[in-house]
Amino acid sequence: MSHEVPIRVDHTGIAVESIESAESVLFALGCRKLIEESVEGRFRWAQYDFGRQASRLELIAPEAEDTFLTEYLAENGPGLHHVTLEVADIDAVIAAIEESGLDAVEYREYDDWTEAFVPPSNPTGALFQLFEYHDSYDEGRPPADSLYVDGERLTEQ
């Protein structure tokens, strides 16, 4: 099944032991840091881009001792963790995924976004995070041109 929902790569997530240690590599590559936040004291993430281009990378590091990220790092070490796809309508994309025989798991609605995951058991072997921004996402964060690919959220057309 195909769909007409706008979708694009938002960022690629890289699991690391320490953002402070790893970001020097991104700075050497010419990245600028856009934002850094903690998620409920469990892990910390920071996003970087290459200036005005749309490409973005994310470093994610554990803050607590027993999280999905500490387990991942223990099993795999630092490296590629996930690819986040921004979608304009997460429910329609999940329906298309499930109709094609794949799984979408860990659907969660937060105040500022909704997310779900396509586990790496799919034929690509990659973990995909499906991510729909809500209107409130940019409140209290850097300007939209730093938050969103091409400076704005995807919307249904």
In one-letter notation, the amino acid at residue 8 is R
Q: Spell out the domain ranges in the chain.
A: 7-151
pLDDT at residue 45, as a whole number:
96
Q: Quick one: average pLDDT of 130-153? A: 87
Pairing label, strands 32-39, 56-62? unpaired
State how far the Cα of 52 lies from the Cα of 57, in Å rounded to an integer. 14
Q: Which fold has domain 7-151?
A: 2,3-Dihydroxybiphenyl 1,2-Dioxygenase; domain 1 (3.10.180)
Residue 144 has what DSSP assignment?
A: H
Residue whose token pair is 């400076």: 151
Q: pLDDT tier at 1 (50, 70, 90 boundaries)?
A: low
Closest to 64 measured CA to CA, from 47, 43, 84, 79: 43
Please report which residue ranges of 16-105 form alpha helices under DSSP H: 19-28, 68-76, 90-99
The tens digit of pLDDT for each residue in 43-69 reads 999 999 987 666 799 999 999 999 999
